[in-house]
Each structure stands twice: as structure tokens, then as C-alpha cells.
Amino acid sequence: MATLLLLRHGRTTANADGGLAGRQPVELDDTGRAQAAAVGERLRGLPLAAVVSSPLVRCRQTLELALPQATPVLDEGLIECGYGSWEGQPLKKLAKEPLWPVVQQHPSAAVFPEGESMAAMSARAVAAVRTWDARVTAEHGSEAVWLACSHGDVIKAIVADALGVHLDLFQRIVADPASVTAIRYTPLRPFVLRLNDTGGDLAALVPPPRKRRRRPAKPADSDAAVGGGAGAGR
């Protein structure tokens, strides 16, 4: 199957201020713009078969800086979790809410007031990337590489699914701003190739061309190989 690169958007003004942005139209700050440009240098030269993005402005800004030649396809499946009335509030304040320990320790049961459940977020995000991965593989082959730009909790949920761990453990996973996580789905199982990578060489993630299968060897050739060649019995 194809190789998926999950890119988290660069740092935003909300990240810098310690707030929960959610689906609000917060933008990258100066650090976030620098991060986006830097990850663009790492992505340069990769043969990306498709670029997909959350529709929120911080993801679109990240891709405009990182991959200015790309034309991302916006997918609602990759949008940030709907935090409802929590959006725009300081994390220090939210940490005092009764729901906070649930979000941290039992997120599969967390439903945000006037918002989305974390389980629903995980399900639609995983469905989105698996659908895109199958599509890219069908159209471009198993050596294809494609990129999806999304958000921290969304990426962590996708990684948890790929690792085969319960959503209740996804808070153990880290996805920093402008980090790259690589997953390769196969018919048997997914493989997490990189996690929260903020500085490594990404060129090694491009699969080599598939070798052509050799024709079955003739019986005489096979006997020689097994027996060690002429005179092996001497």
C-alpha cells in the first residue's frame, strides 16, 4: 500500500497563548510560519501523489508555506475535534473542569459540551485516511507517497489506530507542531514508520521501485542450486 505522511500544522497564536483553538480560525504565529517553511525543506523533492488537508486555516497556511506548488484537497474528516463550548478557553481553566480527567484518562468516553465525542473524531479521521490511502494506492500504485495535514488530537487518534492500541491510550502519543508521522497500511496490518519526526531525512520513506518477479527456475537449475552446483557430491 501507499505511504501516508501525517503533518501537523505549525504553531498557532492559540498554542503560544495556552488556549484551546478547536475549530476557531486561529492562524500561525511567526514561529509556526518558520516551522512550516522548515518542514517544506524536508518535504521538497518527495513525489507526493496527493496532498489532503483539514479545511481549517492553520492547516491551509502550513501547506501554503511548506508546499506552495501543491493544490490540497480539503477533507472534513481531517478537521480538528469539535470541542464545543471549550473552544477558545485557556487550558489552565479547562484543567479544572470535571471532564478534564476523563479526556486525559478515558478519552473514549469523553463528549465535549455542545461538541463532538473523541470516539467520533477518531472514527471519522481513521476512515478518512484509510479511504484516501486506498484511493491513492489504486490510482498511483503501492510505491506512492501522499500527505495529510491535520491537528494534534486527530493525528494521535490515527496513530493509536495504526498501533492497534485503544483510544484511551492515545494521550501517550505526541504530535508536535510541524512534525511528520509516517504510516504504511498493508493488507495485514499498518506499520508506523516515523512518529513525531521534527528533523529527520524524509527521503528514506519513499519506497524503492518494486522488482520484477523472476520466472520460475528450470528443474536442472534448481537441482544445481540445492546441491551446490556440479561436483557437489564429490
The string of pLDDT tens digits covering residues 169-218 is: 999 999 999 999 999 999 999 999 999 999 978 887 888 777 665 555 44
Report pLDDT for 201. 80
Q: What is the CA radius of gyration of the chain?
A: 22
Is the pLDDT assigned to residue 45 strictly greater than 60?
yes
Average pLDDT, the chain: 91
Average pLDDT over residues 68-96: 97
Least trusted range by pLDDT, from 34-38, 83-87, 113-117, 197-201: 197-201
Query: What band does 43 get if pLDDT is binned at 50, 70 and 90?
Result: very high
Distance of CA 11 to the CA centre of its chain: 17
Contact 62, 178 (CB under 8 A): yes
Residue 154, Cβ density class (10 Å: 0-12 exposed, 13-18 middle, ≥19 buried): buried
Least trusted range by pLDDT, from 28-42, 61-75, 119-133, 203-217: 203-217
Is the pLDDT assigned to residue 230 strictly greater than 70?
no
Q: What stretches of 92-179 adopt beta strand conformation (E)?
A: 145-150
Measured CA to CA in angstroms, residue 104 lies from 19, 108, 175 at distances of 17, 10, 15
Q: Which of 66, 31, 32 is nearest to 51 (CA)?
A: 66
Q: What is the pLDDT of residues 121-135, one digit of tens each?
A: 999 999 999 999 999
Query: What band does 109 get if pLDDT is binned at 50, 70 and 90?
Result: very high
Report pLDDT for 205. 85
- Residue percentage of the chain with pLDDT more than 90: 84
Report pLDDT for 36. 98
Bigger pLDDT: 68 vs 202: 68
